[in-house]
Amino acid sequence: FVTVVEDSFEPNQDGVCSGRHWPKGRPPIYVITPTYRRAEQIPELTRLGQTLMLVDSLVWIVVDDAESPTQIVVDHLKERGLCHVYLTSRMPVKFQRAKNPPRGVANRLKGLEWIRQHAKQGGVFYFADDDNSYDSRLFEEMRGTRKVSMFPVGLVTKLGVSSPIVRDGKITGFYDGWIANRKFPVDMAGFAVNIDFWLTKPNATMPFAVGHEETKFLESLGITNDDIELIANNATKIMVWHTKTKKNNKAVLGDKKLNYDNSNIMVLLKQLWR
């Protein structure tokens, strides 16, 4: 006799979902994804969302850098049928016109706030920018993180990879094209954090400091290299890549002399940023 649990796509008061993708007793994974309005937004979310669908017991926290919810993103997430939370958090005004602003920070802070309030069943969280490429098995590897786990990230800086340097299972330094006095010269995609550990650090946070978000965040957790757990086969396997999608222009309407009323074109245009 099997009880069928209805699939739920919104986390309950304990911050977890139910259904086929939520077998009992698995620590949940919270993936915090900053995103923002641009031509590539929905394609990126499609790619990432479909990777995340291969992972069970996962909550996707999508935080849009927008004043108010963007309907096509809301609809897109609902259609995916993934356990998700959609939040908005705009980049502070003073950075909005900057040439090189701290990207995704306001979004991540909002996601972390949600975790502090709602995640009641333990598990881990991870920052997944919307434009990177992930091997879905990485999420299984990070599920067991006790404090902070680390792993290599491909396609970062001129060195092509960013990773802790490991000898005899111990971290002896960091390999990264931009060390810059950073205590933890790692990429945003290169670490995961245990929720219970995070909840013991009420003052831990991420500053709006371009290029120093990762190290300052990790420093605020009060960890040393000895606290870091190496995954991805002792940091010997690249399971996440810092890919960048070519920027595309906003779509314009084709030949304005033609009339597209009552055609599929009007429907297609609603799926684009214009």
* 65 makes contact with Mn ion (CB under 5 A): no
CB of 259 to ligand UGA, least distance (A): 36
Of the candidate residues 17, 77, 125, 129, the single one contacting ligand UGA (CB under 6 A): 129
Binding segment toward ligand UGA, per CB under 6 A, in 102-110, 157-165, 177-185, 264-272: 102-110
Sign (positive/negative) of CA torsion 258, 263, 266, 269? Answer: negative
With contacts defined by CB under 6 A, how many residues of the chain interact with ligand UGA?
18
Question: Which part of the chain contacts Mn ion (CB under 5 A), choosing from 131-139, 153-161, 166-174, 206-214?
Answer: 131-139
Give the Cα separation of 32 and 30 in Å (integer): 6
Contact window for ligand UGA (CB under 6 A) among 50-58, 124-132, 135-143, 258-266 = 124-132
Question: Is 214 designated active site?
Answer: yes
User: How near is the Cβ of 244 to Mn ion at its closest, in Å?
Assistant: 6
- Assess 131 for contact with ligand UGA (CB under 6 A): yes
Q: For residue 198, count CB atoms less than 10 angstroms from its CB and return exposed for 0-12, middle for 13-18, buried for 19 or more.
A: buried
Query: What is the closest distance, in whole angstroms, from the C-beta atom of residue 15 to ligand UGA in the complex?
Result: 22
Which residues make Cβ contacts (< 8 Å) with residue 148, sequence separation at least 6?
Answer: 191, 192, 193, 194, 197, 218, 221, 223, 227, 228, 229
Amino acid letter at 255? D
CA–CA gap between residue 7 and residue 83 (Å, rounded): 9
Quote the least distance from Cβ 243 to ligand UGA, whole Å: 9
Residue 136, judged by CB atoms within 10 A of its CB (0-12, 13-18, 19+), counts as middle
- At 259, phi and psi to the nearest 5? -105, 125
- Residue whose tokens read 């958090």: 89
Token couple for 246: 């070519």
| Nearest approach, Cβ of residue 198 and ligand UGA (Å) | 18
Helix (H, G, I), strand (E, B) or coil at 253: coil
Contact stretch for Mn ion (CB under 5 A) within 40-48, 129-137, 142-150, 226-234: 129-137
CB nearer to ligand UGA: pick between 16 and 238 = 238
Residues at the contact surface with ligand UGA, assessed by CB under 6 A: 34-36, 65, 91, 102-104, 107, 129-131, 187-188, 210-211, 213, 244
Which residues participate in catalysis according to the annotation? 214
